[in-house]
Chains A and B, each alone.
Chain A
Amino acid sequence: DAGITQSPRHKVTETGTPVTLRCHQTENHRYMYWYRQDPGHGLRLIHYSYGVKDTDKGEVSDGYSVSRSKTEDFLLTLESATSSQTSVYFCAISATLGRRGGEQFFGPGTRLTVL
């Protein structure tokens, strides 16, 4: 299994509070991604990173920010959590881009509940 950990694995928070989720990899892969998974929507990309300090927005980036100061860590921050951000969040990594045949490896997920 690819070395990807996510922390915390479960979190309950209140509306309006900031929340930071951490993804840590030991594979030294260049690309890292944050997705959210919701029933009926599959996985939707929030943000991704193509190197240290290089990030870009995905399909559902509003309300989220990311940072990558080291190759191995990719942080997702909800500046002011809302109930619509209740979801399961997955981190993924890849060594190469999909268009070059690179597949993604996924972490175990973080279940976030915003009350």
Chain B
Amino acid sequence: AQSVTQLGSHVSVSEGALVLLRCNYSSSVPPYLFWYVQYPNQGLQLLLKYTTGATLVKGINGFEAEFKKSETSFHLTKPSAHMSDAAEYFCAVSPGNQFYFGTGTSLTVIP
């Protein structure tokens, strides 16, 4: 069975602070992993993805994520939060035909 767990449904950080959003997955086959961002009243847009190769993946808007197979994790980070980063973030895994999404983490950035 495939599943994605996002720890922390709400995360608050101060502007300029490190952003860390956690994602753990379970998959019966080597997975492909994705992070999406959703701004209010919009659809999801891709931040970054891991397929094969380098385990540290860089995405848009200064975000990056590291695939750690031993920990079955794919945590999303950004060194310095900006007000525009306030949004909902979804981790997803796709081991086959379907995509499986986590329940999302809402990021609040405090000025």
Min CB distance, A111 to chain B, in Å?
9
Q: How far is the CB of B97 from the nearest CB of chain A, in Å?
A: 6
How far, in Å, is B88 (CB) from chain A's closest CB? 9
Which of B13-21, B37-45, B60-68, B78-86 lines the interface with chain A? B37-45
- Interface size in chain B (residues, C-beta < 8 A): 28
Q: What distance in Å separates the Cβ of A13 from its nearest Cβ neighbour in chain B?
A: 20
A42 to B45, CA, bound (A): 14
Bound Cα distance A35, B90 (Å):
14
Which of A40, A41, A48, A103 contacts B46 (CB under 8 A)? A103
Contact of B34 among A50, A103, A108 (CB under 8 A): A103
A-B contact count (CB 8 A): 69
Judge whether B12 is part of the interface by a CB distance below 8 angstroms: no
Counting contact residues on chain A (CB < 8 A from B), the size range is 20 to 34
- The answer to whether B34 and A45 have CB atoms under 8 Å apart is no
Q: Give Cα A107–Cα B36 distance, bound, in whole angstroms.
A: 13
Q: Roughly how many angstroms separate A33 CA and B100 CA in the complex, as a whole number?
A: 12
Q: Are B99 and A104 closer than 8 Å at their CB atoms?
A: yes
Chain A interface residues (CB < 8 Å from chain B): 4, 33, 35, 40-45, 48, 50, 56, 58, 90, 92, 97-101, 103-109
